[in-house]
Structure 1
Amino acid sequence: MLTFVGLGLYDLGDITLKGLTYVKSADVVFLEAYTSRLMGTDLTAMEVFFGKEIRVLSREDVEQDPAEILERAAAGRVAFLIGGDPMVSTTHADLRIRAAAAGIETSIIHAASISSAVCGLSGLQNYRFGKSCSVPFPAGGWFPTTPIDTITVNLGLNLHTLVYLDIQDDRCMRIPEAIEIIEDMAERRGVEPPALYVGIARAGSEHPVVAAGSGSKLKETDFGPPLHVLAVPADLHPVEREYLETFAGL
């Protein structure tokens, strides 16, 4: 049995009671730590909280060589822990398909996701979001411009864009860095950069930071530690504008 367990947004208090019960009863616990992270806790605290040894998985462990995960799931109860909500990332969907192909029973225990938390914290209406995108750290001569293409298409359709920021082993992208990269992408593609951004830091914590404004304003805003995420709004509904004025300093 392979069960994908969402951990929620920020710390150990975010897991559902159903998820907690399953993890405590599991024979093996894996943690996928490359698509998202709980910044309000660490591995040691998680092992104490769950009363389980936790094996941390790399992207290669899940996407290229998941044999151990599947073997353990074929023989017993496996909890596969994921920050946020399972199946938001295609890597998790692929693993579930592989398990099904091997005749392994699977299930999902959902939790809060940044994709819905952004709506609550920003007031941007969820049905007005188009395709999301991710901004990676440039590496060497590699500088993809797909994110600005996605943002431009969404704005043309009067749709908001959720922009995920890169997470690496030794660093997590922050909002000012992301805006600099998006503006560079816009210049390279010969399009106007977004006029308005909403930046959100540490969603799910007791004191998240939410700020709306121009790129120059947000690049000077102190959002504090990660994780950070961006939204690029389209034309604002009056209620969306009032919400951002009230709670995000627009």
Structure 2
Amino acid sequence: MLTFIGLGLYDKTDISEKGLACIRSADSVFLECYTSRLMGTTPGELSGYYGRAVHSLYRDDVEQHPEALLAQAEQKNVVFLCAGDPMVSTTHADLRMRAAARGIRTAIIHAASISSAVCGLSGLQNYRFGKSCSLPFPQKNWFPTTPLDVILQNLSLRLHTLVYLDIHDDRFMTVPEAVDLLERMAGDRQVTIPLYVGIARAGSGEPVVRAGNAKAIRSTDFGPPLHILVIPAELHDMEQEYLEVFAGL
């Protein structure tokens, strides 16, 4: 049995009671550490809270070499933990399909996801979001521009864009860094992104939410990670008012 359990947005207390009970009755507990992180806790603290050893997994462990995990799940009750909600990430959906192909029973225990939390924090209406995109750190001789293509397509359809910011080992892209990259892309294409909404530490007791143009957002101190960015389309009146009240627009 392989159970995918979402841990929520920020710390050890975000997990559901159902998820916690499943962890405490499992034979093995694995924590995926590369698509996102719970910044309000550590794997060691999670292990103490659960009363179970927690084994960390990274990209290669899940995407390239999941055999050891799947072999255990064929014989035992195994849980696979991740920040947010499990099936938001395609890599988790792929792992579930691999398990099914081997005849392994699977289940999902859901939790809060950043894709829904941004709507509550920003007031941007969930049905107005188009395709999301990820913004990676540029590498030597490689500067990705696909995120701008997604943003411009969404804007042409009057849809908002959720932009996931890169995590690379212990380096976390910030909202101002993301805006710098997008402004560079927009400048090269001679287009304008009129409005940004930056969010930091969703799920914590003191999240930061700010809306404004590139200059305003780049001058904002969003504090520690994790950060995420939204590029809004033309705002409805209620969205405009919500951002004015809660995001300093």
TM-score, with structure 2 as normaliser: 0.99
Q: For 2:133 and 2:219, how far apart are their aligned partners in 1?
A: 23
Deviation at 1:186, TM superposition (A): 1.6
Q: Mapping of 1:43-122 within 5 angstroms?
A: 43-122=43-122
Question: Which segments of 5 or more consecutive residues in structure 1 lack a partner in the other structure?
Answer: none
The DSSP-based 3-state class of the residue aligned with 2:167 is coil
Number of the residue aligned with 2:144: 144
Contact 1:165–1:228 (CA under 8 A) maintained in structure 2 = yes
Identity over aligned pairs, percent: 64
Deviations 1:115-152 (A, max 9, x none): 00000000000000000001000010111100000000
Instruction: Tell me, yes or no, if structure 1 residue 3 matches structure 2 residue 3.
Output: yes
Number of the residue aligned with 1:16: 16
Question: Which segments of 5 or more consecutive residues in structure 2 lack a partner in the other structure?
Answer: none
Number of the residue aligned with 1:199: 198
Supply the AA of the counterpart residue of 1:209: V
Supply the AA of the counterpart residue of 2:132: S
Q: Cα RMSD (Å) of the superposition? A: 0.6
Deviation at 1:43, TM superposition (A): 1.2
Supply the AA of the counterpart residue of 1:5: I
Q: For 1:184 and 1:197, how far apart are their aligned partners in 2?
A: 15
Deviations 1:29-65 (A, max 9, x none): 0000100100000011100000111110110000001
TM-score, with structure 1 as normaliser: 0.99
Q: For 1:119 and 1:191, how far apart are their aligned partners in 2?
A: 30
Number of the residue aligned with 2:187: 187
Contact 1:182–1:193 (CA under 8 A) maintained in structure 2 = no
Instruction: Tell me, yes or no, if structure 1 residue 35 matches structure 2 residue 35.
Output: yes
Q: For 1:40 and 1:125, how far apart are their aligned partners in 2?
A: 27
**Number of matched pairs:** 249
